Amino acid sequence: MSKDYERINVLLPKKVVEELRESVPEGERSRFISEATQKKLARLRLAKALKIGAGAWKDEDHPDLNTVEDIHRWLEELRRPGEERMSRLHSKK
């Protein structure tokens, strides 16, 4: 076993273990459980970040994005190729 891995013991409900054994081949179960755990941890990190960032955006700080048209214009600008967008930004200064 590689130094990048560590063995742990976990308890799972019997029905979960039965379905895991039926659905995932024997040599692939650790990878399957690892990937599923990573996805769940990513969701938890995202939820935490969203909670921390809640309220950071204030409409009064972005008067240039008050209407749907303003937002469409902003998105079009973001979607333009980088060099073209950067040259326009620098020419506005």
The tens digit of pLDDT for each residue in 1-30 reads 678 999 999 999 999 999 999 999 999 999
Q: Are 77 and 85 in contact (CB under 8 A)?
A: yes
When divided into structural domains, the chain yields a total of 2
Q: Domain check: are 16 and 45 in the same one?
A: yes
Q: Are 32 and 20 in contact (CB under 8 A)?
A: yes
Q: Domain check: are 46 and 76 in the same one?
A: no
Residue 66 lies in a domain: yes
Q: Is the pTM of this model over 0.75?
A: no
Residue 7 lies in a domain: no
Which residue range is the domain that position 36 belongs to? 12-56
**Confidence class for position 91, pLDDT limits 50, 70, 90:** confident
Residue 91 lies in a domain: yes
Rounded CA-CA distance 1/7 in Å is 9
Residue 31 lies in a domain: yes
In terms of Cα–Cα distance, which of 67, 68, 73 is closest to 85? Answer: 73
Residue 47 lies in a domain: yes
Q: Domain check: are 72 and 62 in the same one?
A: yes
Q: What is the pLDDT of residue 93?
A: 55
Query: What DSSP string describes 10-36?
Result: ----HHHHHHHHHHS-GGGHHHHHHHH
Q: What is the pLDDT of residue 41?
A: 98
